[in-house]
Amino acid sequence: MCYAIPGKVETVLGNIVTLDYFGEKKQAYNELDYLRPDDFVYAQGGFVIRVISPEEARSILSVFKETFYELQEIDLRLTRVGLKDNGADKDILRILDKALEEKKLSRANLLKLLTLKAPRERELLYKVANFLRRKYLSNSCCVHGIIEFSSYCWRNCAYCGISTHNQNLKRYRMSETEILENVTLAVEKHGFQALVLQSGEDTGFSPKQLAELIREIKKRHQLLIFVSCGEVGPEGLETLYEAGARGILLRFETANPLLYRSLHPGSYLNSRIEHLKRAYETGYLVITGSLVGLPGQTPEDILDDIFLARDLHTEMYSFGPFIPHPETPLSTFPQADSITILNTLAVLRIVDPRNAKILVTSSFETIDPQAKEKGLMAGANSVMLNVTPGEYQKSYSIYPNRANEDIALEEQIRRTLDLLYRIGRAPTDLGVKG
């Protein structure tokens, strides 16, 4: 985890470097054989991305130094917790007090937190989660970009709007030239240093083709690349990693094998889990999680999802709401509610307080316009902005009426940065150009 400001290399020990950010020390993995102490670098997702000149670094640091401390002070003020509250259930206060002290909570304790409904008790839960976030991960907030380059998919997942169930979708597949142009815009115009390349499981874009595209991107730009194209198989994982991909976004959707099979006819949860394990063993940063509010899902299932994600060495948790799509078999079921999502994010933080990067998903923003702020104040510390060209966004219809579809990227960035600065967070992958 790093700030979107240059870090100064303090030590280089093998592939591990220690970076200094105004006195804060953070470690990152280095794949640049020419890196030396006293170099200035951008890092993202635990990887050194690129070296910048001392002149450029000092210019940025001189501007950002005062802001850096101001943001930390705002974050500190907003994360103060007081649990002496007679208006809350004493048993809940006891559980939250244990969470603050990082004592192990029983499954029954966690289920109580997950199912909280009373506003005052939920407010205390979110404050505890946010306190733990700041205690271990400071005020940094990942801001990644995502390019949805193809809406073709051969899967028949019961909940997804780009599955084979949707016969009315106008599908698209961006050309390599279009993808490269949009990566350049994201990096050079908007300052992104980490991008997710996402598609359905598109047989028209093989891992080999995608690998060639990634190599070309890496020739042109220094950035952290995540792939999100479903299960590409062990060879596909190796091929994409060798090409320069360093992260994978692949949700398992549910830890319940029977529920998984009902949602993915002909597919098995074990296959998805093995794929995620193989990705981690290959060296990928793993982003995974589940859909919350699925038909037939119980609070016990959601808690199992949290534990599974933690056990999969997850770098970033992606837990979003189920939103019914009118062109799928689950079209008549109700969508998840905002309270359950917020409770899930907070319990995620309590279960993995020291390491978890927790994403506020665009699907959460779709069911609650204030989701980004609410999620960040309930223990989350990551957001993702859609940099897909506007003419394609509506055709990547994984769920209907997606948030921000009609808002220009420049405006999304401005609103995101305004929010982060207002609540004392430092954006970790939008540079000064953002």
Q: Residue 42's beta-bridge partner residues? A: 50
Residue from 364, 358, 353, 256 nearest 305 by CA: 256
62 and 169 share a domain?
no
**For the ranges 16-25, 179-188, 381-390, which has the lowest average pLDDT?**
16-25
Residue from 340, 335, 425 nearest 383 by CA: 425
pLDDT of 431 > 70? The answer is no
**More confident position, 87 or 183:** 183
- In angstroms, the CA 156 to CA 112 distance is 35
Tell me, what CATH number does 69's domain have?
A: 2.30.30.140
- H or E element in which residue 196 lies: strand 194-199
Q: Where are the alpha helices (DSSP H) in 185-247?
A: 207-220, 233-243
Domain stops at, among 31, 61, 77: 77
142 and 59 share a domain?
no
71 and 150 share a domain?
no
69 and 146 share a domain?
no
369 and 255 share a domain?
yes
Domain stops at, among 27, 51, 77: 77
pLDDT above 70 as % of the chain: 97
What torsion do the CA atoms of 59, 60, 66, 68 make, to the nearest 10 degrees?
A: -160
Instruction: Confirm whether 172 is domain-assigned.
Output: yes
E strand segments, 355-418: 357-360, 382-386
Instruction: Confirm whether 408 is domain-assigned.
Output: yes
- How much is the average pLDDT of 410-424? 95
305 and 399 share a domain?
yes
324 and 237 share a domain?
yes
146 and 55 share a domain?
no
299 and 380 share a domain?
yes
Instruction: Confirm whether 66 is domain-assigned.
Output: yes
pLDDT at 433: 35
Cα 420 to Cα 134, 146, 385, 414, 425: the distances in Å are: 14, 19, 14, 10, 5
- How much is the average pLDDT of 195-200? 98
User: pLDDT per residue over 248-300, tens digit each?
Assistant: 999 999 999 999 999 999 999 999 999 999 999 999 999 999 999 999 999 99
- In angstroms, the CA 326 to CA 399 distance is 9
pLDDT at 249: 98
Domain stops at, among 77, 92, 123: 77
Instruction: Confirm whether 301 is domain-assigned.
Output: yes
Query: Looking at the 3D structure of the chain, how many domains does it have?
Result: 2
- Count Cβ atoms within 10 A of the Cβ of residue 282 and give its class: 0-12 exposed, 13-18 middle, 19 or more buried: middle
For residue 50, the enclosing domain spans 7-77
The answer to whether 280 and 87 are in contact (CB under 8 A) is no
286 and 175 share a domain?
yes
- H or E element in which residue 420 lies: helix 409-422
Residue from 339, 338, 336 nearest 324 by CA: 336
Instruction: Confirm whether 358 is domain-assigned.
Output: yes
The C-alpha angle with vertex 286 and arms to 285 and 288, in degrees rounded to 5, equals: 160
Structure tokens at 365: 């923003």
- What's the whole-model pTM score? 0.94
67 and 156 share a domain?
no
Instruction: Confirm whether 49 is domain-assigned.
Output: yes
pLDDT at 3: 54
3-class SS of residue 408: coil
- How much is the average pLDDT of 97-111? 95
33 and 177 share a domain?
no
Instruction: Confirm whether 113 is domain-assigned.
Output: no
The C-alpha angle with vertex 244 and arms to 28 and 13, in degrees rounded to 5, equals: 30
The answer to whether 290 and 302 are in contact (CB under 8 A) is yes
Tell me, what CATH number does 202's domain have?
A: 3.20.20.70
Cα 17 to Cα 9, 39, 40, 43, 50: the distances in Å are: 7, 11, 12, 10, 13
- H or E element in which residue 291 lies: strand 291-292
Instruction: Confirm whether 259 is domain-assigned.
Output: yes
